[in-house]
Structure 1
């Protein structure tokens, strides 16, 4: 179970990187779309830290 949680954490980081790259590519063409992808990248980074903290909390309780 711990291995699957780490894979999902890395998945959130990969998604954040993809959205950041998409933000950079769209920045000069469509600013509103770039803001939306930037929001999703920040959300993915927040989810990464939330899941990591939650996993460590569960590991410490066991």
Structure 2
């Protein structure tokens, strides 16, 4: 389960990278800014989703 917690924080790293990419493309006037910002939002969502799933999984293992 240690690997899943590492990948969980990798989503935050990708969110920061996509946000930076989106902001830099926004300043250039490129059309890809919305896609990058959308992927950043998706990465943040996946972080919280995986975090909640991991907590449920750990609670289920502790009860058994």
* TM-score, structure 2 as length reference: 0.88
1:25 Cα deviation after fit: 0.5
Over aligned residues, Cα RMSD in angstroms? 1.0
Q: Mark the runs of 5 or more structure 1 residues left unpaired by the alignment.
A: none
Matched residue SS, 1:32? coil
1:31 Cα deviation after fit: 4.6
Q: Mark the runs of 5 or more structure 2 residues left unpaired by the alignment.
A: none
* TM-score, structure 1 as length reference: 0.91
Matched residue SS, 2:28? coil
- Relative CO higher for 1 or 2, CA cutoff 8 Å, sep ≥ 6? 1
User: Which one has a bigger Cα radius of gyration?
Assistant: 2
Aligned residues between the structures: 61
